[in-house]
Amino acid sequence: VRAAQNVLEACAQTVTMERVVFTSSVTAVVWKDDHKLVDAFDERNWSDLNLCRKRKLWHALAKTLSEKTAWALAMDRGVDMVAINAGLLTGPGLSSAHPCLKGVPEMYEHGVLVTVDADFLADAHVAAYECPTAFGRYLCFNNVVCRPEDALQFAQMLTPSAPCYPPRYTRVNEQHLSSKILRKSSDDGVFL
């Protein structure tokens, strides 16, 4: 939280600063006490801080507090800010021991487990910076983990040396995360 505060304060004092693109997380959006009350999560939702504390979801708590702090300072100091709420960044460095994975089974169960690859996320940041009409928060993901096969593939990525078992479940979890603002064009990359 302190880092977000320091960065926004520095940006507010720099006259050449055009825009801040703040990297946050989907975990700052999806943690609610009762998912049944929310039909679909989007950029307007915020994770419940008390629930994050109660369930020891420290990554989600830190991301939510940092982003809220950044927004408060940006509004107070007149800084043009856009937030990218990224899905779980997948890649070679991610392992099952990573702290941001706490709560992943529940995210899968509730249809809000999403991932993003580094290239897509980088394109989203560039688009958010370059597009003069960009504003607010943008959920950024290019893969939804909602089928048993998706979950198995995700688990194998986290623990490649583990044995491969066929999915026990056939139920597909309905997707409950929607990025209505950020879209991907097959030819043009990310656009806002």
Active site residues: 63
> For residues 16 and 36, is the Cβ–Cβ distance under 8 A?
no
The dihedral built from the CA positions of residue 183, 84, 24 and 83, taken in this order, carries a sign that is negative
> For residues 43 and 136, is the Cβ–Cβ distance under 8 A?
yes
| 3-class secondary-structure state, position 157 | helix
Short-list 15, 33, 28, 141, CA closest to 78: 15
Separation of alpha carbons 50 and 189, rounded Å:
37
Q: Which residues partner with 137 through β-bridges?
A: 83
- DSSP string covering 19-83: -EEEEEEGGGTS--S-GGG-S-B-TT----HHHHHHTT-HHHHHHHHHHHHHHHHHHHHT--EEE
